[in-house]
Amino acid sequence: MATSFLDQLGSFFNGANGPQSGPSYQAMFKFSNLHPRVQGHLSKVYAVLAFATLAAAVGSYTYLAIGISGFLTQIGAIGCMLALAWTPNTPANLSKRLGCLGGFAFCQGAAIGPLISVALQLSPAALVTAFAATAAVFVSFSLSALVTKRRSFMYLGGYLASAMMAMLVLRLSGWIFGASALAYSVELYGGLLVFSAYILYDTQLIVERASAGEMDFTQHALLLFTDLFAVFVRILIIMLKRSEEDKRRERARERKRS
């Protein structure tokens, strides 16, 4: 059943450039400053991104239902990502590559299942707010990257790579010497800023690669999914921290009244 679904999805994308009648899903992504071929590519990228996001949601639900998470999902995510990278980007392999991406997203969703479970127990409203805030960040930053001058955000690549390296060093230092509250906050809020900026950078990078003839929309969707996923996790943690602080202050007020 899953294979049949992936085959149908692959046929949908393979046939997207053929003759069409009636409304096209590509009509949602029309930007006059982009070549029509690039616009069509972007529409495929965002459609596959939606598929990956749905797979991640299914993964989180699977954790809540049967408790699959931990080391197994991490190994699965790495395996699926390597399989996607090693599978040639050909029409014949499209269903397989979509399956690899879906598997990666599923494992990532299951990996944050414990965080989703905590959110549902402590503050379901924080989970809804995190979804809405992530969508707002992604849409606004993506549109900014698409409507501004081409390559205007490409200079961010070096700065973002340096920031990622600095956060990696910070995390390794925390593991070795013990993490401080300040270091945790820097990694949390700094990571949110960095991955939000990556949405700008990766969107324009995809446009440039598509303009140069690289039409691997599955791999490009993986880039954006990684950014989207990282932003969501950090926003959710921030929302949960604020919710817990609000509850702590409310308990303090109740103790003073009594």
SS3 sequence, 4-63? HHHHHHHHHHHCCCCCCCCCCHHHHCCCCCCCHHHHHHHHHHHHHHHHHHHHHHHHHHHH
* pLDDT-wise least confident of 8-17, 106-115, 129-138, 192-201: 8-17
DSSP state of 87: S
Confidence of residue 167 (pLDDT cuts 50, 70, 90): confident
Per-residue pLDDT, averaged over 187-198, amounts to: 94
In the block, residue with structure tokens 């096209």: 24
Q: 15-68 pLDDT, tens per residue?
A: 554 444 444 444 444 556 788 899 999 999 999 999 999 999 999 999 999 988
Chain centroid, CA 134 distance in Å: 9
The predicted structure's pLDDT at residue 118: 93
Question: Taken in order 11, 73, 81, 145, is the CA torsion positive or negative?
Answer: positive
In the block, residue with structure tokens 């989180």: 60
Report how far residue 30's alpha carbon sits from residue 19's, in angstroms, rounded to the nearest whole number: 18
As a whole number, the mean pLDDT across the chain is 86
**What pTM did the predictor assign?**
0.84
Q: 222-251 pLDDT, tens per residue?
A: 999 999 999 999 999 999 998 888 778 887
Three-class SS state of 153: coil
CA 11 to each of CA 6, 218, 252: distance values in angstroms, whole numbers, following the listed order: 8, 14, 59
Confidence of residue 169 (pLDDT cuts 50, 70, 90): confident
